[in-house]
Amino acid sequence: MGAHRDSFGTLDFLRNLPLFRELDLSQLEAVGAATTEQRVAVGAALFRRGDPCDGMYLIVLGRVKLALLAHGGAEKVVEILGPGQSFGEAVLFTGAPHKLYAEAIADSLLLHIRRNAVLDTVERNPKFARRMLNELSQRLCRRIADIEAYTLKSATERVTAYLLAELDEHVSPGQAADVMLDASKSVLASRLNITREHFSRILHELSQAGLIRVNGRNIHLLDPAGLREHKT
């Protein structure tokens, strides 16, 4: 893992994120001065449960999974994050150690902002504080949606909902389109609270039904409208 200072344009990247858009130049520069660039290889652990939280992360390139790990090595993937998204904020304000395990699931370029810089910016800029609260609130809403899906929706419904959510927003509702899985099938299965074998079986059943065509990580949605109505 390497750490470098602003070799690719940290300030430009930050000012283009909604979270930092309201900062004036001096505030943005203060955050930039507390930011380090980290290039990490796939499989690298960023933090583990129990590690102290010394700041928040932003993803420039790559993907990161957040997971709970059992003593036997089993894991429950809580979230899969990509470019423009952040993580680590949840415990930043409490001073508590991390509750989750974070691992790069692709070669990634990350920005790490030190905890004190984030807290100082929250105190000095109410608009930044509101945006941070909004981000944390959205994350809480996603967790509630997860609980609803795990308890009230079938495994097939969870898989179809994931595939449809990955559609480009510019694709019309009934238009065939390609979806590229953003992680391995085992990681996605854990994220959807099913086994890898069950995930593969559901993809096979959807293929047999003429709704999708699978080619490795590329899933061609032949009939998105039909997929929305598929409840098996």
pLDDT digits (tens, 9 = 90+) for 42-98: 999 999 999 999 999 999 999 999 999 877 778 999 999 999 999 999 899 998 999
Average pLDDT over residues 179-191: 93
Residues 186 and 101 reside in one and the same domain: no
Residues 94 and 113 reside in one and the same domain: yes
What digits encode the pLDDT tens for the residues 117-132? Answer: 999 999 999 999 999 9
pLDDT at residue 170, rounded to an integer: 58
Task: Classify strands 212-215 and 75-81 as parallel, antiparallel or unpaired.
Answer: unpaired
- Full residue range of the structural domain in which residue 17 is found: 2-151
- The whole-chain average pLDDT of the chain stands at 91
pLDDT at residue 169, rounded to an integer: 64
CATH of the domain at 192: 1.10.10.10
Residues 93 and 120 reside in one and the same domain: yes
Residues 176 and 192 reside in one and the same domain: yes
The total number of structural domains that make up the chain: 2
Residues 202 and 147 reside in one and the same domain: no
Q: Which of 151, 184, 219 is the last residue of a domain?
A: 151
Q: Which of 118, 151, 184 is the last residue of a domain?
A: 151
pLDDT at residue 8, rounded to an integer: 59
pLDDT at residue 6, rounded to an integer: 46
Residues 163 and 147 reside in one and the same domain: no
Band (166; pLDDT cuts 50, 70, 90):
confident
Residues 93 and 192 reside in one and the same domain: no
Q: Which of 107, 123, 151 is the last residue of a domain?
A: 151
Residues 27 and 51 reside in one and the same domain: yes
Residues 165 and 59 reside in one and the same domain: no
Distance CA 137, CA 154 (A): 26
CATH of the domain at 83: 2.60.120.10
**In the block, residue with structure tokens 């000012």:** 15
Residues 125 and 200 reside in one and the same domain: no
Q: How far is CA 163 from the centre of its chain?
A: 15
pTM: 0.87
Strand order across the 177-180 sheet: 177-180, 218-221, 212-215
Give me the percent of the chain exceeding a pLDDT of 90.
78
Average pLDDT over residues 90-110: 94
176 in Cβ contact with 222 (< 8 Å): yes
Residues 113 and 158 reside in one and the same domain: no
Residues 51 and 68 reside in one and the same domain: yes
